[in-house]
């Protein structure tokens, strides 16, 4: 897989779930803060990012899974989750309804800084609008400066804080939101 090869953004299919789980396992640790252990990250990967979980996500009408494909490889993915968030900290922070969550946004490191993430973001925003959401929100680790910079450049602003369980550790996130 080479940066510079054209990237297609498309909805994920049932046949993508093995490749999605491999990509997710590779990229999830990149979003974790320095204190997060490999053991905690693996527990999260096993529980949330397995092929079986991705099969559920792809089939779920409340979710949209988008993939970035370059040649035969998946090089990035996003997942949207429609509906009101369950976390009371998030509900208190959000200013726009109805909302949709950008629950996952991950690009293979070989494709960082190459426009793949921007293409995934543009399509994700379009999908949120197509689902008639008025706003989009996400959680990002407070120490993930690169992702925060990326989201800010795409119109998101901090509206609150929340916590995120990764294995045995409770991580500190910012809640970001933007209008659609
Ligand atoms: C988040 C992610 C999808 C963004 O994709 P990307 O291709 O890196 O995005 P871009 O290169 O367009 O933008 C990254 C921005 O962060 C900046 N940046 C890069 N490294 C940085 C660092 N260490 N600290 C601060 N900013 C940094 C870049 O300069 C760029 O900003 P600019 O365009 O204003 O100069 C990608 O980095 C990724 O997959 N990261 C790992 C997984 C992750 O953290 N996902 C988010 C989970 S909430």
pLDDT, tens only, 137-148: 999 999 999 999
| Rounded distance from Cα 63 to ligand 1 centre (Å) | 24
**pLDDT at residue number 1:** 46
**pLDDT at residue number 4:** 58
Measured in Å, how far apart are the chain's first and last C-alpha atoms? Answer: 33
Closest Cα to atom 1, ligand 1: which residue?
Answer: 147
CB atoms within 10 A of CB 131: 15
Closest Cα to atom 20, ligand 1: which residue?
Answer: 146
Ligand 1 atom nearest the C-alpha of 144 is: 44
pLDDT, tens only, 87-139: 999 999 999 999 999 999 999 999 999 999 999 999 999 999 999 999 999 99
Indicate the DSSP class of residue 35: T
Domains in the chain with CATH codes: 7-179 (3.40.630.30)
Ligand 1 atom nearest the C-alpha of 118 is: 12
- Residue 3, pLDDT above cutoff 80: no
For every residue of 86-148, DSSP letters joined together read S-HHHHHH--SSSEEEEEEEEE-GGGTTTTHHHHHHHHHHHHHHHTT-SEEEEEEETT-HHHH
| Rounded distance from Cα 106 to ligand 1 centre (Å) | 10
- Ligand 1 is surrounded, with C-beta below 6 A, by 27, 30-31, 105-107, 112-113, 117-118, 140, 144-147, 149-150, 153
Q: Which residue in 64, 104, 105, 93 sits closest to 161, CA to CA?
A: 93
**pLDDT at residue number 6:** 81
pLDDT, tens only, 162-178: 999 999 999 999 999 99
| Gyration radius of the chain over CA positions | 15
| Rounded distance from Cα 7 to ligand 1 centre (Å) | 18
């Amino acid at each position: 897989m080479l940066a510079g090869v054209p990237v297609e953004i498309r909805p994920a299919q049932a046949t993508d779930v093995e490749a999605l789980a491999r990509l997710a396992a590779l990229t999830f640790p990149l979003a974790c803060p320095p204190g997060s252990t490999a053991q905690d990250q693996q527990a999260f990967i096993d529980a949330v990012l397995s092929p079986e979980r991705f099969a559920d996500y792809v089939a779920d009408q409340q979710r949209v899974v988008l993939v970035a494909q370059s040649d035969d490889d998946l090089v990035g993915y996003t997942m949207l989750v429609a509906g009101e968030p369950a976390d009371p900290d998030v509900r208190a922070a959000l200013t726009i309804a109805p909302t949709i969550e950008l629950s996952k946004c991950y690009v293979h490191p070989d494709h960082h800084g190459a426009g793949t993430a921007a293409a995934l973001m543009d399509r994700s925003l379009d999908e949120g609008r197509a689902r008639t959401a008025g706003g989009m929100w996400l959680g990002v680790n407070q120490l993930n400066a690169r992702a925060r910079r990326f989201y800010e450049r795409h119109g998101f602003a901090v509206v609150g804080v929340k916590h995120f369980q990764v294995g045995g550790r409770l991580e500190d996130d910012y809640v970001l939101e933007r209008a659609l």
